[in-house]
Amino acid sequence: MIFIFIVVLMAAGIFSGCSTKESSLRQESESQQLKQDGRENGTADKETDTRKETETESETVAVPERLSPGTNEVLQVPSKPEGDKKADSASAPDGNKDNQKIVYLTFDDGPCSTTPKLLDVLDKYQVKATFFVTAQFMSEDDLVEQIKNISDRGHRVAVHSYSHDYKQIYSSVDAFMADYNKMDQLIQKATGTPSKIFRFPGGSNTGYNEAIRTDLIRRVKDEGLIYYDWNAYDGDCDGYKGDDLIKRAVKESTYTKRSILLMHNIPGKDTVIESLPEIIRQLKEAGYSFELIDENTDPIQFAKG
**Active site residues per annotation:** 108, 264
Q: What is the DSSP letter of 180?
A: H
Other CB atoms within 10 Å distance of the CB of residue 64? 18
SS (H, E, C) 146-179: HHHHHHHCCCEEEECCCCCCHHHHCCCHHHHHHH
Q: Is 115 helix (H, G, I), strand (E, B) or coil?
A: helix
- In the chain, the amino acid numbered 62 is A
Contact 300, 83 (CB under 8 A): yes
Q: How far apart are CA 196 and CA 187, in angstroms?
A: 11
- In the chain, the amino acid numbered 227 is Y
If we measure between CA atoms, which residue out of 233, 202, 232 comes closest to residue 109? 202
What are the DSSP E strand ranges found in the chain?
Answer: 52-55, 60-63, 67-68, 73-74, 102-108, 130-133, 156-159, 197-198, 226-227, 232-233, 258-264, 289-290
SS (H, E, C) 185-208: HHHHHHHCCCCCEECCCCCCCCHH
Q: Is 301 helix (H, G, I), strand (E, B) or coil?
A: strand
Other CB atoms within 10 Å distance of the CB of residue 87? 18
> Which residues 6+ apart lie within 8 Å of 244 measured at CB?
235
